[in-house]
Amino acid sequence: MTGIRSTTRLGRTPPAAKDGPGLNHGDIADHNCRIVLELLRVCGPLTRRDLAARLGLTEPAITGIVGRLEGRGLVASRRQADAGRYPATEFRLRPEGAVALGLRLARRAAAAVLVDAAGSVIAERRDLTPDELIAAGRALLAVKPAGASVLGVGVALSPDDGIGLDDVQAAFAPLPVFADADSAAAATAERLIGAGDRDGGFVSILVTRSGVRAGLSIGGRPFHGMHGFAGGIGAMRTGEARAPLADGLSPHRLDAAIAAGGDREAAIAGWARQAADHLLDAVVAISGVVVPGLIVIGGDLPGAALDAVVSETLATPVAIGGRPTTAAWMPPLRRSTLPAAGVAEGAALLPLLEFLLPDPRRLRETPVAPPRS
């Protein structure tokens, strides 16, 4: 792991510098730096005046913040073009200033993704075996931009992981490792680089070969439930047969339909009609309890199958009070635009949330300290 430079949080001060219970100057500075980075990531280049207005701070205070971020190589400045006689200085995020590695450990869908400070994918390796994952992650780190700091390694966990978290820690030490469930990682990716957050939040349904799970984001925060088990929707009894949702949406069932021969499109259409019977029940249940602004579905199914089951679900009448109605009253349902629902990308975003961006979530399992040498 030579040549890899890790990073620390944007700023911390000793506990003695307290402004009040649980709050100190370092925490305030760290928060303001994160907000500035997020504004530049989402909005593009902004001037001191723009940033001061959005943060409610003075322009001299903004000067200190952006100066600090420029020193870290995360922000660059330039004079506005075509801005008249007295062009203002605008600041932009330098995505190449930092990178993070994301690993999906699922035995049948292992993947490694390297993202920059904006969350954009620099390089990726998918459809890996567990034995290939560590080497693939190291190879991706080797192609990071020159001078970029490595924030850490994010890990998406699932019930069928091919390697253990301890193996990842040992392989990438001394980099910090952060872990979360694959469904929560998918929801993180949707919020930051996918569909974005919505009024009322959103639900990300993840269909994998090890089951069906959901990631819930409410008000920008992940919802895990009191005991951390929220999102375990695969066991829901759905459809006319009252079978588990995981069976109704099973990729294995789709594989069998395609392998049975005949036209592939017809096989997908037939699978989608049956799967929609199950998905609709889950969507209705979710909508009645969480009332999200958006529901996305993705994972280890072909894009054509996801599109077909979404279309079938939206077209299926729902019986309410004994009277059939359309599904138009439900939140929008759409396919995730991210590969495999963005599980690996979401894992890679975990170090960014820990070190650079505002993090409304506080991971229950993380951070995971690197092993001692």
pLDDT at 325 over 60: no
Quote the CA–CA distance of 172 and 177 in Å, as a whole number: 8
Which long-range CB contacts under 8 A does 12-18 form with residues at least 24 apart?
none
Which residues face 169 on adjacent strands?
A: none
Residue 146 host element (H or E): none
The string over 299-333, giving b where at least 16 C-beta atoms fall within 10 Å of a residue's C-beta and e elsewhere, is bbbeeebbebbbebbbebebeeeeeeeebeebbeb
Q: Which CATH class is domain 18-93?
A: mainly alpha
Measured distance CA(215)–CA(237) in Å, rounded: 19
* Cα(187)–Cα(205) distance, integer angstroms: 9
The reported pLDDT for the residue numbered 187 is 93
Q: What is the pLDDT of residues 279-314, one digit of tens each?
A: 999 998 988 888 889 999 999 999 999 999 999 998
Listed by start position, the domains of the chain span 18-93, 97-182+342-355, 195-337
Neighbours of 102 (CB within 10 A): 31
Same fold, 97-182+342-355 and 195-337: yes
Whole-angstrom distance, CA of residue 104 vs CA of residue 339: 12
Three-state DSSP at 66 gives: helix
Q: Which residues contact 240 (CB under 8 A, 6 or more apart)?
A: 277
- Maximum separation of any 2 CA atoms in the chain, in Å: 73
Q: What's the fold here for domain 195-337?
A: Nucleotidyltransferase; domain 5 (3.30.420)
Structure tokens at 131: 């034995």
Element (H, E) at 192: helix 182-193
**pLDDT tens for each residue of 73-108:** 999 999 877 666 667 899 999 999 999 999 999 999
Answer yes or no: are the C-beta atoms of 296 and 204 closer than 8 Å: yes
Checking if the pLDDT of 361 tops 70, the result is no
What is the per-residue pLDDT across 151-176, written as a single tens digit (0 to 9) for each?
999 999 999 999 999 999 999 999 99
Note the pLDDT tens digit of each residue in 7-40.
444 433 333 334 444 556 677 888 899 999 999 9
Candidates 147, 125, 168, 121; CA nearest to 3 is 147
d(CA 286, CA 327): 13
Is 97-182+342-355 assigned to CATH 3.30.420.40? yes
Using CA of residue 278, residue 282, residue 288, residue 294, what is the dihedral sign? negative
Whose tokens are 């602004």? That residue is 293
Nearest-CA neighbor of 97 among 69, 68, 78, 77?
A: 69
- What pLDDT score was predicted for residue 360? 65
Give the pTM. 0.86
Q: What is the dihedral of CA 91, 94, 97, 100, to 10 degrees?
A: 120
pLDDT at 114 over 50: yes
Beta bridge partner(s), residue 148: none
**328 Cβ contact list (under 8 Å, min separation 6):** none
* Integer angstrom CA distances of residue 243 from 3, 141, 296, 299: 52, 44, 22, 20
> Would you say residue 322 has pLDDT above 70?
no
- Measured CA to CA, the distance from residue 248 to residue 254 in angstroms comes to 10
Percent pLDDT > 90 in the chain is 68
**Rounded to the nearest 10 degrees, what angle do helices 59-71 and 48-55 cross at?**
110
